[in-house]
Amino acid sequence: MYVCCCEGVTDRQIKISIENGNIVSFNDLCAEFGIANNCGKCLEEVREIFNESIKRKSNSFNSEFKDIFKPEIGTKLILQ
Ligand code: FES
């Protein structure tokens, strides 16, 4: 679905860019796709998509991180 009609940007393009790690900030997103370069009517919806996508990516990373660094029972963690 088009979210920025002026630049022809879809919600899918935004989600894929964030998922692939190409976009890490809202400013990056706007610069990459030219969002808000014209009327700016899309800003609120784009920000919602950005926030949801970043949150989903963060949750995904956290669950992967837990699985990778899950200590086995009986393992002593030494913090220095
Ligand atoms: S709809 Fe995105 S700048 Fe106009």
Q: Is 47 domain-assigned?
A: yes
What's the mean pLDDT when you consider all of the chain? 87
Evaluate if residue 65 carries a pLDDT over 80: no
- Taking the CA of residue 5 as reference, the ligand 1 atom at the shortest distance is 1
Q: With 90 as the cut, is the pLDDT of residue 12 above it?
A: yes
CATH number, residue 18: 1.10.10.1100
- For the whole model, what pTM was predicted? 0.76
Is the residue at 79 inside a domain? no
Q: Is residue 76 part of a domain?
A: no
Ligand 1 atom nearest to CA at 43: 2
């970043």: which residue's tokens?
A: 54
Q: Which residue's CA is the closest to the ligand 1 atom numbered 1?
A: 4
Contacts of 46 (CB under 8 A, 6+ apart): 3, 4, 9, 14, 29, 30, 35, 36
Please count the structural domains in the chain.
1
